[in-house]
Amino acid sequence: MKELDTVIGEHPFFEGLSAADLDLIAGCGQIAVFRPGQFLLRAGTPADHFFLIRRGKLSLEMTAPGKDPFVFETLSDGDVVGWSWLFEPNVAQFDARSIDDTRVVQFDGKCLRGKCDADPRLGFDLMKRFARKLIQRFADTRLQLLDVYGKRD
């Protein structure tokens, strides 16, 4: 069985990190499996974790009272989900629900925030990686909303 630092080092999100950084980050992670319908994140709840998706699919959803959940993105192998652990007040902004058996590396946000505080270079590197994901996710969501609400003939 592969060591966790090797598993996360093979994930695109952590590409290019040193072995020492991967080892440090792996100390905050564990392998987890979510079954269909299980939530990884719930909007409005404490954002204590983020997840590297190894295999499987999950939906990112927003809900409003009295309405069905609106799926604004589907994520799969190689994606990362959850950035609110990094930004105060550390509250999840959306729901993330497993569509099928989803294998992830689950990271303890408090543990990793402590390591980032102790090593600002690592913290800045992770912040840049998450910022790139945020920008891409916002762009994808914008396109989805344009498709849903755009002019129809």
For the whole model, what pTM was predicted? 0.86
Residue 131 has pLDDT above 60, yes or no: yes
Class of the CATH domain delimited by 4-140: mainly beta
Beta bridge partners of 57: 76
Residue 149 pLDDT > 80: no
Q: What is the mean pLDDT of residues 122-141?
A: 87
**Domains of the chain, residue spans:** 4-140
Q: For the segment 13-39, what is each residue's pLDDT rounded down to a tens digit?
A: 999 999 999 999 999 999 999 999 999
Structure tokens at 101: 């058996």
pLDDT score of 1: 59
- DSSP string across the chain: ---HHHHHHTSGGGTT--HHHHHHHHTTEEEEEE-TT-EEE-TTSB--EEEEEEE-EEEEEE--TTS--EEEEEEETT-EE--TTTSTT-B--SEEEESS-EEEEEEEHHHHHHHHHH-HHHHHHHHHHHHHHHHHHHHHHHHHHHHHHS---
